[in-house]
Structure 1
Amino acid sequence: MSIGLDDVVAAETVLSDVDGEAGRLIIRGHDLEELAGHVPFEDVAAMLWDGLVPGVPSDPRAGFGEARERAFRYLSPLARHLSGLTPVEGMRLLLSALPDADKEPALLAVGGSAVAAAMAIRGATGLSPVAPDASAGHAADLLRMIKGAPVDSGRARGLDTYLVTVIDHGLNASTFAARVVASTDAGLLSAVVAGLCALKGPLHGGAPGPVLDMLDAIGTVGNAEAWLDDAMARGERLMGFGHRVYRVRDPRADVLKAAAARLRGDDNRIAFAEAVEQAALGALQRRKPGRRLDTNVEFYTAILLDSLGVPREGFTPLFAAGRTAGWVAHAVEQEKAGRIIRPQSRYVGPWPAKAA
């Protein structure tokens, strides 16, 4: 038995491979570094779906744009129910309203995730939803729907890089949840909702926000070394460092660090975060010399999204908006396998008393 299913192979996939020893992430035959920041999210999603998901549009930008508009028609009447919900709770409510019977459920799922994320982030603070612009790029439109105004190309590229970076990552908890639901023939939208529910947990997609809490507590570069040493002396985890799979630096962290660096100095704290990162890596090396704990995707996710003006409560919905394309691909792949996922458990409870 493997608690947590470590090293248990539960699926064969053509979608992605995570090499934790080498610090390498392959997406459909390409290293992540070839794609993120270079190929638009819509094109990467179409590549991920190619030959697997039916109805991949020949013009991905137009196809996803139309899907956002279609999703908005389904979801906008629900905006009044978002007050009092956190952004991820609001996104869960909205995605649950999308029909599995839609003519193009895969496109609707991704378009709907973008619309739902933006609506839920705005709705949590009482703001009205902003309708999508089908002619815009997916990332640019998503950020516009959040902020309520057009964004410059640099910020749009930053979010696009992020969405590509998180599009797929092996058989993680949320992807496995999506595959389990898909194996029952429940439908793509139901599988996506299951993925979001797993991602909501702070041990999975809910982690980047506390990175900013850590930076808030440190305050200035001059406080960094002492604060980090004190935190480690108390046995606290340094947020944004270490990963269950990667034994070296998380390649996604490097991609997002480069994306954040392009925005450095634009009334943000990217330079401060870079200094804290170096101080943290030094502290970890001093206190845990025999253990490699490097920067992970959470650290620069927090820095990049914060610099784009996304509230920290909105980080998990944006993670889901990018990962939905991967959930859809895995769900379809699992459906094609044609077998329900049904592992065994070992009973360790009491047995009935034997009859006299």
Structure 2
Amino acid sequence: MTDRAAPDDGSGATTPRRLSTRETAERLGVKPETVYAYVSRGQLSSTRAPGGRGSTFDAAEVDALARRTGRREPPPAPGDLVFRTGVTLIEDDRYYFRGVDATELAREYAYEEVAEWLWTGELRPGIRFTAPDEALAAARGAVDALPAHSSPTDRLRVAVIAAASADPFRFDLSREAVLTGARSLVPTLVGALPPAAGGTGEQPEGQGARERPEEREAGLARQLWSKLTARPADEPFVTALDGALALLIDHDLAASTLAARVAASAHAHPYAVVSAGLGVLEGPLHGAASGLAHRMLAEVLERGSAVPVVADHLRAGRRVPGLGHRLYRTEDPRAQALFTLLAKVPQAAGALAAARDVVATTARHTPLPANVDLALAVLSVSSGMAAEAGETVFAVSRTAGWIAHALEEYGERPLRMRPSGQYCGPRPPQPLPAAADAPSWLSAP
């Protein structure tokens, strides 16, 4: 916040800048009632505002208190939304979860372990998330009622709503309650998905085939594998899938995460927070981007070269999917890490070479490094997954990140994300609108 110039008292000197209660609360990053608590404790002095309405505070004294308490929020750049967060840092073409290199975490630990670290700051080796039977039954029933053509994101959104209805404690926003719900929600989402087309397994009539009992005891990546492809689980592939899940958990305030934080700011329960994130994720510029990269990569393999495929994109005025990222000058570190995992999978060699061909071919026109959507496309194409599989991986993984941000937001001042609209419509007063004439075909005999 930039201080306005203080008024001149006529002697050439200026009086100290005074802040209103609201301005003081914003500068300290606290609620207005906390400002008066500081006054009652002698940490801040106040003066009755002219006219007797409210109090004013010395700006220098407020700044000194902000430095002592460490509560002051850094001023945002003009036009930017900036919020304090201890979840993810993106800096110097790397990204970090709670200060630890996220790619190293994904290389060393399973998805559930990284999620637990992000939520609590504690590493719990071997932790497994399990879905409660009641929530899983509700989610499966709701998902099975959807039309066959429903997208994976459709199914996940419905599964979240069904799981919420099965949890009578969902409105408890205490930290432990939120964590308990989060540990059950993620496997419930995976368990509610039907197996990939072509999979095997006996199932009751009208119900989708589900994972075998031993799969429910395995890690989340192995549970998700059978929902994405009919091919048998191959250990190197499952390891790559697990790595993708861990790498995608969070990425600072991406569009879906901002939506999740807005919901949490209104004290929506965690299931509603995840629903908000899923609603934004489905856009082609966010979670669905990997599907575009999948289709492009499949075409490159079919045609035997990236040259005609990239040329077709450029001729049509379309950007080449899976390339470039506004936050990284070099290759997306998530792509680097996932490419490294996929290099250990013999079946992925062809798709990996095709991806490198896309990067090299595009570089003749504009040098754009690979992003994580291209790496997800290599995983999905080489393992026989559908084009939407990358979006499913993204959504399941990012659920943990949305919960991490919700935990932070629940501790902030409620409803702080309330921007003001800049009205550009007709100025009032305007006359009441007249009813439009009915179309002639309505009055025809």
The question of a shared fold, defined as TM-score above 0.5 by the shorter chain, is answered with yes
Q: Is the 8 A contact 2:153 2:392 kept in 1?
A: yes
| 2:349 pairs with one of 271, 276, 290 | 271
Counterparts in 2 of 1:294 and 1:231: CA distance versus 1, 3 Å: same
Where do 1:78-227 residues align within 5 Å?
78-84=142-148, 85-99=150-164, 101-102=169-170, 104-116=180-192, 118-119=193-194, 128-131=208-211, 133-147=215-229, 151-219=233-301, 222-227=304-309
Q: Is the 8 A contact 2:263 2:272 kept in 1?
A: yes
1:281 matched to 2:281: no
| 1:302 pairs with one of 377, 386, 389 | 377
If you compute each CA radius of gyration, which structure gives the higher value, 1 or 2?
2
Counterparts in 2 of 1:350 and 1:73: CA distance versus 1, 3 Å: same
Q: What is the distance in 2 between the residues matched to 1:144 and 1:166?
A: 20
Partner of 1:76: 140
Amino acid paired to 2:99 = G
Aligned residue for 1:17, secondary structure, equals strand
Q: What is the distance in 1 between the residues matched to 2:183 and 2:293?
A: 32
Q: What is the distance in 2 between the residues matched to 1:150 and 1:226?
A: 33
Which shifted more, 5-14 or 190-199? 5-14
Which shifted more, 202-211 or 242-251? 242-251
| 1:11 pairs with one of 64, 80, 83 | 83
TM-superposition CA deviations, 1:10-49 (whole Å, max 9, x none): 3111111123xx3211112211221123211111111101
Q: What is the distance in 1 between the residues matched to 2:189 and 2:285?
A: 21
Give the deviation of 1:272 after TM superposition: 3.5
TM-score (norm 1): 0.83
Amino acid paired to 2:90 = V
TM-score (norm 2): 0.68
Amino acid paired to 1:91 = L
Which structure 1 residue ranges, 5 or more long, are not aligned?
Answer: none
Aligned residue for 1:255, secondary structure, equals helix
Amino acid paired to 1:95 = V
Give the deviation of 1:183 after TM superposition: 0.8
Partner of 1:254: 336
Which shifted more, 159-168 or 209-218? 209-218
TM-superposition CA deviations, 1:261-311 (whole Å, max 9, x none): 1113x2xxx3333333333333333323xxx52111100101113333332
Partner of 1:334: 409
Give the deviation of 1:349 after TM superposition: 1.5
Aligned residue for 1:61, secondary structure, equals coil
Which structure 2 residue ranges, 5 or more long, are not aligned?
Answer: 1-76, 171-176, 199-205, 432-445
Counterparts in 2 of 1:345 and 1:285: CA distance versus 1, 3 Å: same
Query: Higher relative CO (CA 8 A, sep ≥ 6), structure 1 or 2?
Result: 1
Aligned residue for 1:163, secondary structure, equals helix
Q: Is the 8 A contact 1:130 1:148 kept in 2?
A: no
1:293 matched to 2:359: no
Q: What is the distance in 1 between the residues matched to 2:225 and 2:132?
A: 13
Q: What is the distance in 2 between the residues matched to 1:67 and 1:327?
A: 18
Q: What is the distance in 2 between the residues matched to 1:14 and 1:115?
A: 30
Q: What is the distance in 2 between the residues matched to 1:58 and 1:217?
A: 42
TM-superposition CA deviations, 1:68-90 (whole Å, max 9, x none): 65642332222431233222112
CA RMSD of aligned residues (A): 2.9
Give the deviation of 1:230 after TM superposition: 4.6
Amino acid paired to 2:363 = Q
Q: Is the 8 A contact 2:111 2:220 kept in 1?
A: yes
Counterparts in 2 of 1:251 and 1:216: CA distance versus 1, 3 Å: same
Percent of residue pairs bearing the same amino acid type? 33
Give the deviation of 1:244 after TM superposition: 2.4
Q: What is the distance in 1 between the residues matched to 2:78 and 2:313?
A: 29
User: How many residues are paired up?
Assistant: 333
Aligned residue for 2:289, secondary structure, equals coil
Aligned residue for 1:26, secondary structure, equals strand
Q: What is the distance in 1 between the residues matched to 2:184 and 2:307?
A: 47
TM-superposition CA deviations, 1:154-197 (whole Å, max 9, x none): 22211110100101100000111111001111100100011111
Which shifted more, 306-315 or 28-37? 306-315
Q: What is the distance in 2 between the residues matched to 1:78 and 1:254?
A: 38
Q: What is the distance in 1 between the residues matched to 2:221 and 2:232?
A: 11
Aligned residue for 1:36, secondary structure, equals helix
Counterparts in 2 of 1:204 and 1:6: CA distance versus 1, 3 Å: farther
Q: Is the 8 A contact 1:88 1:314 kept in 2?
A: no
Q: What is the distance in 2 between the residues matched to 1:257 and 1:149?
A: 21
Q: What is the distance in 2 between the residues matched to 1:262 and 1:149?
A: 18
Q: What is the distance in 1 between the residues matched to 2:389 and 2:395?
A: 10
